[in-house]
Chains A and B, each alone.
Chain A
């Protein structure tokens, strides 16, 4: 399998000491950290196409970690978020988890705990990206169908036999068979069952 671009670990923390120490720690285990001092800086830097995860301080001046998470949610970003929280921020962490944060850690933490969570987040990101890419591929393949092939697809997903389709479309069974084959080929579906599922996914 082709190796995708190396994931970036974004670290957003207003505290310079914490930020630099996290960068040092993550580099020491061969990860690619990118440190940013504020939510604003992150929003200016972040590219949704870049795989990775976000290690985010809950409490920051300006836009807080929670506010950044909400903004990312609103914009449909899928980057997994690991919150790091200070003393007594547990209620904030709970709120963050309710809004879909993938994990949280209390400062100071064991390095292995952070690294494990980052690995989990990266796996989750890779899965999400693969699912999105597959969905996108299917959408493009459906878009590439001719109007006639789309009619055939609609009848196929309703389970109509070739003979019925030929009658409904006013063409020969042989022509229906050719369209069918083209639909299967373009969408890459291995079976009728899979094709039906793809079509349903696209509608949802």
Chain B
């Protein structure tokens, strides 16, 4: 289970990377400056890298702020369908770029949920991104992604379903652990963060096998009104 403490550790780890890069470039610059005949363009290159890394660090902090704001709760009663529709433009773009076809299956007459819209959208986008990456092995254009909303007892479910290769056994138990990743370039924080966001909302995240193939990732949020 990812706690706020673990998330903080995750952010600290992430921030440490650009800081390390900045320190390395700066120290290299000071070495180069103390040596005669240094090419200024070399220094220029290092300095622009430093700038790029500070921007990166700033983005990490902005993300953290976004999450912290959620804890102070800017929650409102919203329809999950509206929440999904708001980001669909973004998702379509992403899906098209990956050669994946996207469809929506939004249930009618769902109760509203009390959430920080941005945070829940972050979770859905994270599921979508994982789904698209899982479908990357299907280069033949048969990749499909479905975003589905449904009522599940007293919860409203938002699910992202792909028809990719599914999840290997060894990964299954650790998917929501901080730093665990099956991807070459993953930070291992995506699903862990999603898990934390769901818990902060009194909900949960999980996944199940999709039929006939692939995986369904879902977030369950407590229903607050009867539609």
Contact A18 B20 (CB under 8 A): yes
Interface size class of A (residues with CB under 8 A): 20 to 34
Is B77 positioned at the interface, with any CB of A under 8 Å from its CB? Answer: no
Contact A24 B17 (CB under 8 A): no
Is A87 positioned at the interface, with any CB of B under 8 Å from its CB? Answer: yes
B4 to chain A, nearest CB (A): 15
In the complex, which residue of chain B has the Cβ closest to the Cβ of A22?
A: B24
Report the bound CA distance from A25 to B50 in whole Å: 13
Is B182 positioned at the interface, with any CB of A under 8 Å from its CB? Answer: yes
Instruction: Enumerate B148-202 residues with CB–CB distance to A below 8 Å.
Output: 179, 181-188
Interface of A is mostly: loop
Report the bound CA distance from A37 to B185 in whole Å: 9
B contacts with A, residue count (CB < 8 A): 32
Contact A111 B24 (CB under 8 A): yes
Instruction: Enumerate A21-35 residues with CB–CB distance to B below 8 Å.
Output: 21-22, 24-25, 28-29
Q: Interface-forming stretch among B8-16, B98-106, B109-117, B130-138? A: B8-16
Given known contacts A17-B18, A25-B24, A61-B183, A111 and B13 CB-to-CB distance under 8 angstroms? no
CB neighbours of B12 from chain A (8 A): 87-88
Contact of A24 among B16, B28, B179, B183 (CB under 8 A): B28
CB neighbours of B25 from chain A (8 A): 21, 24-25
Is B27 positioned at the interface, with any CB of A under 8 Å from its CB? Answer: yes
Is A46 positioned at the interface, with any CB of B under 8 Å from its CB? Answer: no
Contact B184 A21 (CB under 8 A): no
Contact of A17 among B13, B21, B181 (CB under 8 A): B21
Is B88 positioned at the interface, with any CB of A under 8 Å from its CB? Answer: no
Report the bound CA distance from A25 to B32 in whole Å: 9
Contact of B23 among A28, A86, A108 (CB under 8 A): A108
A36-63 CB mask vs B (1 if < 8 Å, else 0) is 0110100000000000000000010110
Is A143 positioned at the interface, with any CB of B under 8 Å from its CB? Answer: no
Is A110 positioned at the interface, with any CB of B under 8 Å from its CB? Answer: yes
In the complex, which residue of chain A has the Cβ closest to the Cβ of B182?
A: A61
Report the bound CA distance from A40 to B9 in whole Å: 27
A125-141 CB mask vs B (1 if < 8 Å, else 0) is 00000000000000000
A82-95 CB mask vs B (1 if < 8 Å, else 0) is 00001110000000
Contact A21 B24 (CB under 8 A): yes
Give 19 A-B contacts (CB < 8 Å), ordered by A residue.
Answer: A15-B21, A18-B17, A20-B21, A24-B24, A25-B24, A59-B179, A61-B182, A61-B184, A61-B185, A61-B186, A61-B188, A62-B183, A86-B17, A87-B9, A87-B12, A107-B19, A108-B16, A111-B23, A111-B31
Closest 6 CB pairs of A and B: A21-B24, A111-B27, A21-B21, A17-B21, A61-B181, A108-B23
